[in-house]
Chain A
Amino acid sequence: MSYRWTVIKSIMKREARSSFFSLGLYIAATIACLVSAFIFNTYINTVEGNNIMVMASPLNTPLFYAVIVAALYAAISSSTALSREKDRGTLEVLFYGPVDHLSVILAKFFEDIISFLIIMLLVTIYFAYAAITTNLGFSITYLYAIILSIFIASCMSSFGLWLSSLTARIRTSILLLIVVMGGLLGLQFLQNYILTLKPENLSLSMVYIMGIVSNILRVIKWVSPFSYLTDGINAVALGSVSMYIENMIGAIIYTVVLLTATVYTLKWKGVRKL
């Protein structure tokens, strides 16, 4: 086990270096900041228009959007992490040496979390700037949200890794990610839409359809990493400690299950270039 850590650390370091020197991470961070900038701007406009705005933890809303962007980056980068190396044959080369499935997967996973943290660090620096110039101020819930976001990223990343282990080509895995994530996101939006509907405004057949959809969604909730994202957002927004801890434990279980699935899928599919 101790030697495995040496291996994990080495691979992780290499991966981290590689993402540190490539633009993807910075582009993701920029998108996260830009999305937040729009929300900061909305705040300024609201206060200017109404002269007053009462809000708890105003940084959390832009932070949530930033987390979504960063977590999507985590999902995208992890969804190609294994397939990219398989596609290029470099995964096989790792296995010539003292590297096994678990160590590669854990290394990729941790590297993804590190990249996520780098993005969140850049975002936080930006937020500090925005909070000081606007005088919005920081609150302790920001820290809670950041901590929870790591768990959300871990769900996204392990989900992406698992998708990645299913494919042997970068293009296939990106396509798979788009289809799966798009589907899951679509369903989540549908769910939110359903929640806003007033049953009394619906025809009876629509009510049936909604019933079906919401039953399907209940199952998907366990599978989709996005549900951990929305639950996490709710936990921080509500300030509910039990939900917060529940979300963390749920995310850990989700991550462990998916990483285990990834190990077995990779063993089953093999590490050789096709």
Chain B
Amino acid sequence: MIRTENLCKKYEKVEAVKDLSISVEPGEIYGFLGPNGAGKTTTIMMILGILKPTSGKILVFNKDLYSDYFGIKRRVGVVSEVQYLYEDMTAYEYLSFFCDIYNVKNKKEKIEELLHKVDLYDRKDDLLGHYSRGMQQKIGFVRALLNDPELLILDEPVSGLDPTGIREVRDLILEENQRGRTVFMSSHILSEVERISHRVGIMNKGRLVAEDTMENLRKKLSSEVEIELEVDNFDVEAEKRLESLSFVNSVTKEDGKYLVRVKADKDYRGDLVNFVSAIGGNLKEIRKREMSLEDAFITITEKNISLFSSGEVSE
């Protein structure tokens, strides 16, 4: 449905997306996960042709966007991070306008059906400027569904919604997916993605750090963490003793540094420091490998702990 190959986007100073290759398969819900500033929105905008990639290739429905711009765009529905609506229009007028753009047949029925679904039918003649943020978000959703899209691209679809809203939207996404629509959904809320995605891609600092099913990712995550260790006067004996530590899975040597894979159940860096000083080694540097899946995951988790925990509680 969507495939990117070595996609890059450089702003003047920031490299927002680096070498991104992802693929979204038909019928699935793809969770596009990453902390703030990871490059999710940038990627989505490139997929939509709104931002021009610095390099790389994007295929939507296996076609280049510009080979059939209108044809492809008509088969896609988009909900963005922030809802920018024409505030001087009523909900009905607004949706009717987009029906015209998508050339939707029997638009009245379509609009009313979708408004009923998101519980906004009674407010259909209110100005959008008078809507609350959550209601505006729902209108964005309705707009994205007007054209019965085969592909739904959702950029943080539940941010700013209350728990009921989140559940409504989540149910809607699941329902639409069951109707056969492919969903590409970005989020920094782990629990959101976790719950409904078939597959996730995790981004951090512009790079894709993992792309797999949720299950596999969880397995990988729970297994090990990579730690870089630079130590002077380490002999073979010391290496052997390091490898035999109970929490160490394996040790490899990379340009004078040791790459130590340890269990992921706790932070073993303290234990490693203790070990080095115990055998009289001179520790020069110890650090976790950058941009690892864990890293991304932990950032996501840490940063959003409050967000999704509150969501969990009220459910």
- B296, CB-defined interface residue at 8 Å: no
B97 and A14 form a contact (CB under 8 A): yes
B70 and A98 form a contact (CB under 8 A): yes
User: Which of B51, B69, B84, B86 has the most chain A CB atoms inside 10 A of its CB?
Assistant: B84
- A139, CB-defined interface residue at 8 Å: no
Q: How many residues of B contact A (CB 8 A)?
A: 28
- A93, CB-defined interface residue at 8 Å: yes
Distance of A7 Cα from B97 Cα, bound (Å): 10
On chain A, the residues within 8 Å of B69 by CB distance are: 98, 100
B88 and A18 form a contact (CB under 8 A): yes
Q: How far is the CB of B55 from chain A (nearest CB, A)?
A: 18
A10 and B100 form a contact (CB under 8 A): yes
- A271, CB-defined interface residue at 8 Å: yes
Q: How far is the CB of B224 from chain A (nearest CB, A)?
A: 41
Other-chain residue from A13, A89, A272 in contact with B45 (beta carbon distance below 8 A): A272
Contacts A6-B103, A98-B70, A98-B102 hold; do A90 and B84 have CB atoms under 8 A apart?
A: yes
- A11, CB-defined interface residue at 8 Å: yes
On chain B, the residues within 8 Å of A89 by CB distance are: 82, 84
Within residues 144 to 176 of chain B, which ones have a CB less than 8 A from any CB in chain A?
A: 144, 147
- A97, CB-defined interface residue at 8 Å: yes
Q: How far is the CB of A153 from chain B (nearest CB, A)?
A: 24
- In the complex, the chain A residue whose C-beta lies closest to that of B94 is A14
- B78, CB-defined interface residue at 8 Å: yes
On chain A, the residues within 8 Å of B73 by CB distance are: 96-99
B101 and A7 form a contact (CB under 8 A): yes
- B14, CB-defined interface residue at 8 Å: no
Contacts A10-B97, A88-B84 hold; do A95 and B49 have CB atoms under 8 A apart?
A: yes
- The proximity string for A residues 237-274 relative to B, scoring 1 for CB distances below 8 Å and 0 otherwise, is 00000000000000000000000000000000011110
- A193, CB-defined interface residue at 8 Å: no
Q: How far is the CB of B44 from chain A (nearest CB, A)?
A: 10
Within residues 1 to 33 of chain A, which ones have a CB less than 8 A from any CB in chain B?
A: 3-4, 6-7, 9-11, 13-14, 17-18
Within residues 68 to 120 of chain B, which ones have a CB less than 8 A from any CB in chain A?
A: 69-70, 73-74, 76, 78, 80, 82, 84-89, 93, 97-98, 100-103
Q: How far is the CB of A41 from chain B (nearest CB, A)?
A: 38
- A231, CB-defined interface residue at 8 Å: no
Q: How far is the CB of B53 from chain A (nearest CB, A)?
A: 13
Size bracket, chain A contacts: 20 to 34
Distance of A271 Cα from B80 Cα, bound (Å): 14
B84 and A11 form a contact (CB under 8 A): no
Contacts A92-B84, A273-B84 hold; do A97 and B101 have CB atoms under 8 A apart?
A: yes
- B50, CB-defined interface residue at 8 Å: yes
- B48, CB-defined interface residue at 8 Å: yes
On chain B, the residues within 8 Å of A92 by CB distance are: 50, 80, 84
Distance of A89 Cα from B41 Cα, bound (Å): 15
Distance of A99 Cα from B73 Cα, bound (Å): 8
Q: How far is the CB of B102 from chain A (nearest CB, A)?
A: 6
A93 and B45 form a contact (CB under 8 A): no
- In the complex, the chain B residue whose C-beta lies closest to that of A88 is B84
A90 and B85 form a contact (CB under 8 A): yes
Q: How far is the CB of B252 from chain A (nearest CB, A)?
A: 45
Other-chain residue from A9, A14, A272 in contact with B50 (beta carbon distance below 8 A): A272
B84 and A9 form a contact (CB under 8 A): no
On chain A, the residues within 8 Å of B49 by CB distance are: 95
A97 and B84 form a contact (CB under 8 A): no
On chain A, the residues within 8 Å of B48 by CB distance are: 95-96
On chain B, the residues within 8 Å of A17 by CB distance are: 93
Distance of A97 Cα from B98 Cα, bound (Å): 9
- In the complex, the chain B residue whose C-beta lies closest to that of A7 is B101
A11 and B101 form a contact (CB under 8 A): yes
Q: How far is the CB of B60 from chain A (nearest CB, A)?
A: 13
B82 and A270 form a contact (CB under 8 A): no
- In the complex, the chain A residue whose C-beta lies closest to that of B99 is A10
Distance of A92 Cα from B78 Cα, bound (Å): 11
Distance of A261 Cα from B296 Cα, bound (Å): 44
Q: How far is the CB of A269 from chain B (nearest CB, A)?
A: 12
On chain B, the residues within 8 Å of A13 by CB distance are: 97, 100
Q: How far is the CB of B36 from chain A (nearest CB, A)?
A: 18
On chain B, the residues within 8 Å of A98 by CB distance are: 69-70, 73-74, 101-102
* Given A4-B70, A98-B102, 15 other A-B residues pairs in contact with their CB atoms under 8 A: A3-B70, A3-B103, A6-B101, A6-B103, A10-B101, A89-B82, A90-B86, A95-B49, A96-B73, A96-B78, A96-B80, A97-B74, A99-B73, A100-B69, A272-B45
14 residue pairs A–B, Cβ–Cβ below 8 Å: A3-B70, A89-B84, A92-B50, A94-B101, A95-B50, A97-B73, A97-B101, A97-B102, A98-B73, A99-B73, A100-B69, A270-B51, A272-B45, A272-B50
Interface residues in chain B, defined as those with a beta carbon under 8 Å from any beta carbon in chain A: 45, 48-51, 69-70, 73-74, 76, 78, 80, 82, 84-89, 93, 97-98, 100-103, 144, 147
In the complex, the 4 A-B pairs of residues with the closest C-beta atoms, listed nearest first = A89-B84, A10-B100, A96-B78, A98-B73
